[in-house]
């Protein structure tokens, strides 16, 4: 499936998801043993940011992070962005970062979103490799946006959160990710 078809599917999924009245869901990553909900290693990825830098799972080794798939045109994505910026400021010195993954087709719009919302963390342009990595290897996977994947400093993928998250929910995810590296 081409990248643009995936963006189309994600767009349709967002419309379907946004019309649902149920709260955002949390899923545990899929593991080798069916029914087990323990943490697994996060899929490896490498991507280029909007400003041309490279970010990869290898460059993030030892750091807790949340990989957040979003789009500039997505109302729930816009709603959670200010909380992510505030929490990035709060937790960056504690070894944490958000990594935004934009599924926008128009990079001008993506850059405007980053500027307008004061995004203070790396934003990677989604490509087939990262979409596949997070769609195929994780229960629930990447079905709609926003979707947040919590990765601990130990490289474990501990949870997946579908839908917009509150500041309190993100705060709990960040603490979860940081603690994963301390165990």
CATH, residue 170: 3.40.30.10
pLDDT number for residue 136: 77
How many domains does the chain fold into? 1
Alpha-carbon distance 49 to 97, whole Å?
Answer: 14
**Contacts of range 6-11, beta carbons closer than 8 Å, 24 or more positions apart:** 6/103, 6/128, 6/131, 6/135, 7/103, 7/105, 7/126, 10/69, 10/71, 10/103, 10/142, 10/144, 10/145, 11/71
| Residue 116: strand, helix, or coil | helix
Strand 64-70 to strand 96-102: parallel, antiparallel, or no bridges (unpaired)? Answer: parallel
pLDDT number for residue 77: 97
pLDDT number for residue 89: 97
Q: Is the pLDDT of residue 111 over 60?
A: yes
Q: What is the arithmetic mean of pLDDT over 74-87?
A: 98
Lowest mean pLDDT: which of 24-28, 102-106, 130-134?
24-28
Q: Is the pLDDT of residue 40 over 80?
A: yes
Range of the domain at 78: 3-180
| Residue 139: strand, helix, or coil | coil
pLDDT number for residue 140: 59
């Amino acid at each position: 499936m081409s990248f643009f078809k995936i963006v189309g599917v994600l767009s349709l999924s967002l419309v379907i998801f946004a019309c649902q009245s149920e709260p955002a869901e949390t899923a545990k990553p899929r593991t080798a043993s069916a029914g087990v909900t323990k943490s697994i290693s996060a899929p490896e990825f490498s991507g280029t940011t909007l400003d041309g830098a490279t970010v990869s799972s290898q460059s993030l080794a030892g750091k807790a992070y949340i990989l957040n798939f979003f789009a500039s045109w997505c109302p729930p994505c816009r709603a959670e962005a200010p909380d992510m910026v505030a929490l990035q400021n709060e937790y960056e010195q504690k070894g944490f970062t958000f990594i935004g993954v934009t599924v926008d087709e128009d990079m001008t719009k993506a850059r405007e979103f980053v500027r307008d919302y004061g995004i203070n963390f790396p934003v990677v342009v989604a490509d087939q490799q990262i979409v596949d990595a997070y769609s195929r290897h994780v229960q629930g996977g990447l079905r709609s946006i926003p979707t947040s994947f919590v990765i601990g400093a130990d490289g474990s993928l501990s949870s997946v959160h579908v839908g917009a998250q509150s500041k309190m929910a993100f705060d709990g995810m960040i603490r979860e990710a940081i603690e994963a590296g301390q165990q």
